[in-house]
């Protein structure tokens, strides 16, 4: 596939939400060939590939159907690449609880397959792995109190969770992703692979299908736009920082550009303190954005849910000069614009008669 291109980028899970946004950006760079590796198990992702094939740079796009659990297929897809963005994952805590073996096979075995393929290729490709803030567990070490419509840290100096926070894998999903990110880090130390880990908070933006396993912000917005009820788990005061997917793509490319400084490192990535919202606050923003009344129901809090998670991104900012630039308001506007041109696909792929939300920290696939 090289044909004169200086870079070949492999994106596992490349047909998904983050992967297709990353692929679009890379196809805009004239010296990059993009290889998407995806098993197409998620509803709606074929539409992302159809969209990518309409782009001007689509002649440099290769789409390979395959599964990260298939070591031979992964090895074949990795043979000649210069960079790997390993995004393929099982992302639902609920699924991991009901089927922990499959969760392990996809998230941990699949990651090990990618790492081994990269190591054995002999090319030492740059490798970025998307992990999750769920590796920090319930964050019992960050006491919170209810202030208005949100949880707030008792410590007034709290600026977010940084990378020295103790690991506390909670749920099979947290275990599989956490173990995988330790493998990714160690392959940099032991084998010299220029690998980077992003422990991500909530990612949102266009081309997010927004079902219960795939993005709470989009799920809320699509449900409200469709006149469907939204279920709030717990009191609704849970707080997350939210990062626009285009800001995340900026960060991914910044990590590669600065690989001499980022290799072997783990970074927390999210919107940071200035881009936070509680569940209730987000719903109010959506109500204001859409002009539609909310249809709400409530249920008990989910096990292991973090009442407050805000990313401290200072380490990554200092290493690369990156900074988030898009607001939550812009995130909602961009998701809304995607809805207006893709509502039929979203209704078929993401929305059910009774939408259910799980507030999962990593909402990217």
Residue 343 has pLDDT above 50, yes or no: yes
pLDDT of residue 302: 74
User: Which residues have CB under 8 Å from 274's CB, separation 6+?
Assistant: none
Question: Which run of H or E residues covers position 223?
Answer: helix 216-225
What would the pLDDT profile of 141-198 be if each residue is shown by its tens digit? 899 999 999 999 999 999 999 999 999 998 899 999 999 999 999 999 999 999 999 9
Give the residue with greater pLDDT, 292 vs 359. Answer: 292
Return the CATH superfamily for domain 7-349: NAD(P)-binding Rossmann-like Domain (3.40.50.720)
Give CA–CA dist 7/26, Å, rounded: 10
The whole-angstrom separation of Cα 87 and Cα 14 is 7
pLDDT on residue 349 = 67
Beta strands in the chain (DSSP E): 7-12, 32-38, 61-65, 83-86, 126-132, 144-147, 150-153, 195-200, 202-204, 230-233, 239-244, 266-269, 276-278, 296-299, 308-309
pTM, to two decimals: 0.92
Whose structure tokens read 């319930």?
A: 138
Quick one: pLDDT band at residue 308, thresholds 50, 70, 90?
very high
pLDDT the model gives residue 138: 84
Q: Are 161 and 134 in contact (CB under 8 A)?
A: no
Kindly report the length of the chain: 365
Q: What angle do CA 230, 204, 309 make, to 5 degrees?
A: 80
Question: Where exactly are the structural domains of the chain?
Answer: 7-349
- Of 151, 173, 183, 187, catalytic: 173
DSSP-assigned beta bridge partners for residue 244? 204
User: What is the rounded CA–CA span in Å between residue 4 and residue 24?
Assistant: 20
278-282 long-range contacts, CB within 8 A, separation 24+: 278/149, 278/150, 278/151, 278/236, 278/237, 278/238, 278/239, 279/216, 279/232, 279/236, 279/237, 279/238, 279/359, 280/149, 280/150, 280/232, 280/236, 280/237, 281/149, 281/150, 282/216, 282/217, 282/220, 282/328
Average pLDDT, whole number, for the chain?
90
- Averaged pLDDT for residues 217-244: 93
- For 23, other C-beta atoms within 10 Å of its C-beta total 30
Angstrom distance (rounded) from CA 2 to CA 117:
18
Does residue 365 surpass a pLDDT of 50? no
Q: What pLDDT was estimated at residue 306?
A: 83
Q: What is the mean pLDDT of residues 260-273?
A: 97
Contact status, residue 176 vs residue 96, Cβ threshold 8 Å: yes
pLDDT band at 304 (very low <50, low <70, confident <90, very high): low
pLDDT at 305: 77
- What is the band of 94 on the pLDDT scale with cuts at 50, 70, 90? confident
Kind and range of the H or E element at 248?
helix 245-257
Of 325, 332, 319, 309, which Cα lies nearest the Cα of 142? 309
State how far the Cα of 118 lies from the Cα of 83, in Å rounded to an integer.
Answer: 9
Model confidence at 223, in pLDDT bands (50, 70, 90)?
Answer: very high
The yes-or-no answer on residue 309 being catalytic is no
Most confident of 79-93, 226-240, 257-271: 257-271
Name the pLDDT band for 214 (thresholds 50, 70, 90).
low
pLDDT bucket at 248, cuts 50 / 70 / 90: very high
Q: Which tokens go with 29?
A: 């760079």
Report CA dihedral (185, 189, 191, 196) to the nearest 10 degrees: 30
pLDDT at 350: 59
Reply yes or no on whether the pLDDT at 361 is more than 50: no
């Amino acid at each position: 596939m090289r044909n004169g291109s200086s870079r070949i980028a492999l994106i596992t899970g490349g047909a998904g939400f983050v992967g297709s946004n990353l692929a679009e950006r890379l196809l805009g760079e004239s010296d990059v060939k993009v290889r998407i590796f995806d098993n197409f198990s998620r509803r709606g992702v074929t539409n992302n590939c159809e969209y990518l094939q309409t782009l001007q740079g689509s002649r440099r796009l290769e789409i390979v159907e395959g599964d990260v659990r298939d070591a031979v297929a992964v090895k074949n897809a990795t043979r000649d690449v210069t960079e790997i963005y390993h995004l393929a994952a099982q992302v639902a805590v609920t699924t991991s609880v009901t089927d922990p073996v499959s969760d392990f096979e996809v998230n941990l075995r699949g990651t090990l397959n990618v790492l081994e393929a990269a190591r054995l290729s002999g090319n030492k490709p740059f490798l970025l792995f998307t992990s999750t803030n769920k590796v920090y567990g319930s964050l019992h070490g960050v006491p919170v109190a209810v202030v208005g419509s949100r949880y707030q840290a008792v410590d007034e100096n709290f600026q977010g969770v940084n990378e020295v926070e103790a690991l506390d894998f909670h749920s099979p999903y947290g275990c599989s992703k956490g173990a995988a990110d330790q493998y990714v880090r160690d392959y940099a130390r032991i084998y010299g692979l220029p690998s980077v880990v992003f422990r991500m908070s909530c990612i949102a933006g266009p081309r997010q299908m927004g079902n219960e396993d795939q993005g709470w912000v989009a799920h809320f917005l699509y449900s409200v736009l469709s006149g469907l009820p939204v279920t709030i788990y717990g009191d609704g005061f849970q707080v997350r920082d939210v990062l626009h997917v285009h800001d995340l793509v900026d960060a991914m490319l910044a990590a590669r550009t600065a690989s001499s400084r980022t290799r072997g490192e783990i970074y927390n990535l999210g919107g940071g303190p200035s881009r936070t919202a509680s569940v209730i606050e987000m719903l109010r923003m959506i109500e204001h954005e859409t002009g539609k009344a909310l249809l709400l129901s409530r249920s008990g809090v989910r096990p292991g849910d973090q009442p407050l998670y805000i990313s401290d991104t200072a380490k990554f900012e200092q290493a690369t000069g990156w900074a988030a630039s898009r607001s939550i308001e812009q995130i909602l506007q961009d998701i809304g614009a995607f809805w207006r041109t893709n509502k039929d696909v979203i209704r078929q792929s993401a929305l059910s008669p009774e939408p259910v939300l799980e507030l999962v920290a990593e909402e990217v696939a």
